[in-house]
């Protein structure tokens, strides 16, 4: 009897473990309601789209619009930091049809130069820049010093120890290294060459270093990046993970893209044009900030990001299970319907999408994306 009850207690514990293990590990965005006339999920062709977290709102609507037009397709989006988006294809070898990142230059760096070990061909040979954005500071009514902060004094406010600042991890998310670039550019713009260290010094276990030359500020991010216990910096894998912390009041400010801030109805501080990585006219100035990731152990490539106007990139990995369907989806995005969805969600699209590796692009997409220096 006694033994039986003990076993029961043990079994209860184990059932509990099982139940707990069933809990989802991470939330996924709710899919829009399916078209009732569409075939059921089992019959539809799945189209796996891995995209930057800042595309979550327009891409959710794009998914609904595309599925309404193509009932036989089941668009399955998944959102991460842009570098993570690529690594899901190149390191975790997941079957992905479309890759869309917040930084188009990541695609040649991390996909053109990396070969699929199974075939010996690069993971991608072309990419199309299709959308822009602007880096800004998001905050709420409860944030500290909202009455005081402006486009001049923001680095000084962010450096205050009582101000909790949200930052995406620059090792995984483009907005993370762009935030670091913005501070390096703010130094150059204002001539106050101490702003970067004011915000970041003493925040990490292993320091993020900045090396200033006449026309270049090089920021080195260590391979292991973790905040110290007394830090006023709150870091998350992707910038969209900071939104909940902003809304709960657990951070005061976060570097976010303008489109994301508007989509979530947050308050926004616009950064000056020479800093916010939005304006083509400042291309040369932006290039004066460079972020290097000091990867030694885990990665075969050592990423180096050069400041430039923000451009979102999209491609079809060579490992895509449904490349033809992916082509149609990208054509929809680049066409009038896709552009209308993006603009309705306040995500700026490029007036004319621009291709890298134009000649390697699927023929159907070539008219929609001009080649660099090409047709």
Q: How far is the CB of 27 from another protein (least distance, A)?
A: 6
Residues 6+ apart with CB under 8 A from 11: none
Structure tokens at 339: 């552009």
Helix (H) or strand (E) holding 308: none
Q: How far is the CB of 9 from another protein (least distance, A)?
A: 4
Q: Does 8 bind another protein (CB under 8 A)?
A: yes
Beta strands in 171-266 (DSSP E): 209-212, 217-222, 233-236, 253-257
- What DSSP assignment string belongs to 204-216? BSS--EEEE-SS-
Nearest CB to another protein, comparing residues 52 and 368: 52
Q: Does 367 bind another protein (CB under 8 A)?
A: no
Q: How far is the CB of 128 from another protein (least distance, A)?
A: 25
Residues 6+ apart with CB under 8 A from 118: 319
Q: How many CB atoms lie within 10 A of CB 40?
A: 8
Q: Does 236 bind another protein (CB under 8 A)?
A: yes
Name the DSSP letter for residue 280.
Answer: G
Radius of gyration of the chain (CA): 22
Residues 160-199 that bind another protein (CB under 8 A): 164, 169, 171-172
Site string for another protein, 39-78 (x = CB under 8 A): ----------------------------------------
Residues 106-165 that bind another protein (CB under 8 A): 142, 164
Q: How far is the CB of 247 from another protein (least distance, A)?
A: 10
Please state, in angstroms and rounded to a whole number, the distance separating the CA atoms of residues 140 and 267.
5
- Which stretches of the chain bind another protein, using CB under 8 A? 2-3, 5-6, 8-10, 12-13, 16-17, 19-20, 23-27, 80, 83-84, 87-88, 91-92, 142, 164, 169, 171-172, 224, 226-227, 229, 231, 234-237, 241, 244-245, 248-250, 297-299
């Amino acid at each position: 009897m006694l033994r039986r009850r003990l076993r029961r207690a043990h079994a209860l514990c184990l059932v509990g473990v099982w139940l707990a293990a069933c809990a989802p590990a991470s939330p996924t965005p709710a899919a829009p309601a399916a078209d009732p006339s569409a075939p059921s999920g089992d019959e539809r062709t799945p189209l796996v789209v891995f995209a930057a977290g800042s595309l979550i709102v327009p891409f959710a609507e794009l998914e609904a619009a595309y599925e309404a037009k193509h009932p036989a397709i089941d668009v399955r989006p998944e959102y991460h930091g842009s570098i993570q988006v690529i690594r899901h294809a190149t390191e975790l070898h997941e079957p992905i049809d479309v890759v869309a990142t917040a930084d188009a230059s990541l695609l040649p760096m991390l996909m053109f130069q990396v070969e699929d070990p199974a075939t010996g061909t690069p993971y991608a040979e072309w990419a199309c820049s299709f959308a822009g954005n602007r880096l800004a500071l998001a905050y709420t009514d409860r944030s500290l010093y909202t009455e005081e902060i402006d486009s001049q004094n923001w680095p000084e406010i962010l450096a205050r120890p009582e101000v909790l600042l949200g930052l995406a991890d620059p090792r995984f998310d483009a907005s993370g290294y762009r935030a670091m670039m913005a501070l390096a550019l703010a130094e150059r713009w204002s001539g106050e060459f101490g702003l970067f260290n004011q915000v970041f010094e003493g925040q990490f276990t292993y320091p993020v270093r900045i090396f200033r030359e006449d026309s270049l500020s090089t920021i080195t991010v260590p391979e292991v990046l973790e905040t110290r216990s007394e830090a006023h910096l709150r870091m998350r894998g992707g910038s969209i993970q900071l939104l909940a912390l902003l809304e709960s009041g657990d951070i005061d400010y976060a570097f976010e893209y303008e489109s994301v801030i508007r989509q979530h109805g947050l308050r926004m501080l616009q950064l000056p044009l020479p800093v916010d990585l939005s304006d083509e006219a400042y291309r040369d100035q932006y290039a004066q900030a460079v972020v290097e990731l000091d990867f030694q152990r885990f990665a075969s490539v050592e990423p180096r990001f050069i400041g430039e106007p923000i451009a979102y990139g999209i491609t079809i990995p060579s490992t895509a299970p449904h490349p033809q369907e992916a082509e149609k989806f990208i054509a929809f995005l680049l066409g009038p319907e896709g552009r209308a969805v993006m603009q309705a969600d306040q995500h700026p699209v490029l007036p004319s999408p621009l291709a890298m590796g134009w000649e390697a692009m699927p023929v159907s997409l070539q008219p929609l994306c001009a080649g660099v220096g090409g047709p």
